[in-house]
Amino acid sequence: MAQLSDDCFAFGGPMMSVDEAVHIIAARVTAVHETETVSLAEADGRVLASDISAPLPLPPFTNSAVDGYAVRSGDLPQQEAAFPIAGRVQAGASAREPIKPGHAIRIFTGAPMPDGADTVFMQEDVRVDENHRVVLPAGLKPGANVRPAGEDIPGGFPALKSGQRLRPQDVALAAAFGLTRVAVRRRIRVAVFSTGNELVSPGAPRAAAQQFDSNRFMLMAMLARLGCEVSDLGILRDERASLARGLKKVAGDYDLILTTGGVSTGEEDHVKASVEDIGTLVLWRIAIKPGRPVAMGIIGGTPFIGLPGNPVASFVTFVHVVRPTVLALAGATQRPLIPMPVRAAFAYKKKIARREYVRVSLRKTDDGVLEAVKFPREGAGLLSSLVDTDGLVELGEEITQVQPGQTVGFLAYADLL
C-alpha cells in the first residue's frame, strides 16, 4: 500500500500555485512497489516496471524496402542496361544462392537481401524486355531501397524505459522483439466518493430538491483511463462525523482516496473538517480557476484529495492535481502537458497570480490557422461546456487579459488523459 509521511504536502501560506502543488506531489509521493507480469494484450496503459533492451536488432536482417530487383552496387549501370533475372525472393523466404555479377534478382518488400546484393531498383523504374531481362536505368545510388539490419533499433539498445505508460506503439515494439509478457507496476487502487445531501445515484429515486450525481462517474472514467483500479463507494452525506467515519474506514485499503464536493467554506461543507478530525490536512487552496478549493491531506498514511463539487472545476482540478498524483503513485514518468499554440477568437480578463482554464472549441480559419472559440456561457456547473468543446485554453499566472488574434496555449481533452 502506498504510504505518505504527514509532511508530504507541507507548504507555508494560504494559497499555492499549481506548479508548486504538482512539484510537491511528484517529489514526495511514494510509488507502489508491487509488480506483476501481464500479456502484451493486457499491457496497454500499464506502467513498465523495468527497462527493456532490444534482444535482437530491428529489422533482424537486411531486407528490401520495395518490390523490385536486387543487384550488386558494383554492377550499377552508367547508362540503361539489361540484366538477366537470376531468381526470385519473396518475403519470408531466402535466396538460394549469392547473386552473380551482372545479374538481377526479383525481390519483394521485406524479403532478405541475397548475399552480395546491396541495392534495389523499384519495379516502377524498370521494364522487362522480350528476352525476359530486366532493363535498369542509370543514376541509382548504391544502397538504395535497402533496410539494413538494426536500422530501426540495434541489438542491446535500451528501447523501453521503466516508468513508461505503455502505448499501443510501445506494445508493438515489445512484440517485434518477440516478447509475449512484460513486467508492470500493479494498478493503484483508488476509492471514489461523492459528498452531498443533494445528490442521488443515477437510477435511484430523486426528490424534487436533489440531482443525479455525475461527478463520481466522470472521475471514475478518468481514473480508469489512467489505468487505476477504481472502487465506487457511493455518496457520503453532509455530516461531519459520518464523513470522517466513511473516509477513515477505507484509508488502509486504498492507495488514494478521492472525493468531490464539500470542500469550500460553506456551513454544510464538512470534508475539510472531517479530514482534520481523522488525519492531516496539508493543503486546501490552489491558485486555479475553475477549482480553487482543493483539499489534500493524509488519512492513516493514505493520500486524500477532495475536489470541488462543480463538474468543470472537478474536471480541471483532476487533470492538474489528481493526474500527477496518480502517475506518481503508479511510478510513471511525469510528462508535462504541453499546450498547442492557437489563435484566440475571444477577449478575456483574469486576475494575476492565478492560472485559469477557458473552455473552447477549435475551428480552422480561411487563412488555415486554428482558432479557439470560447464557450458562450460561464459557470463551473455547466457540463455542456465540457461536452460541446474541444479542450481548454491555459492562461498562465502572469497573464491578465487576452485579445482576439493573440496566440494562446490549447490543451485538447484527448491529450489530458
The 8-class DSSP code of residue 327 comes to: H
328: left (phi over 0), alpha (psi -120 to 50) or beta: alpha
* 125, 168, 201, 343, 382 from 198: Cα distances, Å: 74, 42, 10, 40, 17
Residue-level pLDDT at 238: 82
Nearest residue to 153 (alpha-carbon basis) of 302, 52, 42, 259: 52
- Same domain, yes or no: 270 and 243: yes
Pair 198, 305 in one domain: yes
Q: How many domains does the chain have?
A: 4
CATH of the domain at 405: 2.40.340.10
Residue 130: give its domain's CATH number.
2.170.190.11
Does one domain contain both 258 and 383? no
Q: Are 321 and 305 in contact (CB under 8 A)?
A: yes
CA 392/CA 410 separation, integer angstroms: 6
SS3 143: coil
Can you give the CATH number for the domain in which 258 is found? 3.40.980.10
Out of 302, 329, 356, pick the residue that ends a domain.
329
Which grid coordinates belong to 109?
518488400
The boundaries of the domain holding residue 179 are: 39-55+160-185
How far is it, in rounded angstroms, from Cα 353 to Cα 16? 10
Residues 175 and 301 in one domain: no
Of 412, 274, 268, 112, give the one whose Cα is nearest residue 259: 274
Which among 11, 28, 7 is positioned nearest to 334, based on CA atoms?
28
- Cα–Cα distance between 55 and 62 in angstroms, integer? 17
- Distance from C-alpha of 310 to C-alpha of 269, rounded to nearest angstrom: 13
The grid cell for 305 is: 484529495
| Residue 275 shares a structural domain with residue 300 | yes
- pLDDT of the chain, 417 residues: tens digit per residue: 554 544 434 444 457 888 888 777 777 789 999 999 999 999 999 999 999 999 999 999 999 999 999 999 999 999 999 999 999 999 999 999 999 999 999 999 999 999 999 999 999 999 999 999 999 999 999 999 999 999 999 999 999 999 999 999 999 999 999 999 999 999 999 999 999 888 999 999 999 999 999 999 999 999 999 999 999 999 988 888 888 888 999 998 999 999 998 765 544 457 778 888 888 887 778 899 998 788 888 898 899 999 999 999 999 999 999 999 999 999 999 888 999 999 999 999 999 999 999 999 999 999 999 999 999 999 999 999 999 999 999 999 999 999 999 999 999 999 998
298-314 b/e with 16+ CB inside 10 Å = b?
bbbbbbbbbbbbbbbbb
Do 192 and 138 belong to one domain?
no
Q: Are residues 387 and 319 in the same domain?
A: no
State whether 303 and 270 are in the same domain: yes
| 4: in domain | no
22 phi and psi angles, rounded to 5 deg: -65, -40
Longest dimension (CA), the chain: 96
Exposure pattern of 126-141 as b/e (b: 16+ CB <10 Å)?
beeeeeebbbbeeebe
HEC assignment per residue over 62-92 = CEECCCEEEECHHHCCCCCEEEEEEEEECCC
Question: Last residue of a domain, which of 123, 147, 171?
Answer: 147
Answer yes or no: do 212 and 248 share one domain.
Answer: yes
Which of the listed residues 120, 147, 174 is the one where a domain comes to its end? 147
Is residue 168 located within the same domain as residue 212?
Answer: no
Task: Give the 3-state secondary structure percentages of the chain, helix then strand then coil, rounded to 5.
Answer: 20, 30, 45
Contact 299, 244 (CB under 8 A): no
Q: Is the dihedral of CA 271, 276, 277, 278 positive or negative?
A: positive
C-beta of residue 43 within 8 angstroms of C-beta of residue 14: no
Whether 230 and 348 share a structural domain: no
Q: Locate all alpha helices (DSSP H) within 318-360, ordered by sequence.
A: 323-329
141 and 30 co-located in one domain: no
Asked whether the bond before 308 is cis by omega within 30 degrees of 0, the reply is no
Question: How many Å apart are CA 291 and CA 275, to the nearest integer?
Answer: 19
Q: What's the CA dihedral at 107, 113, 118, 122 to 10 degrees?
A: 20
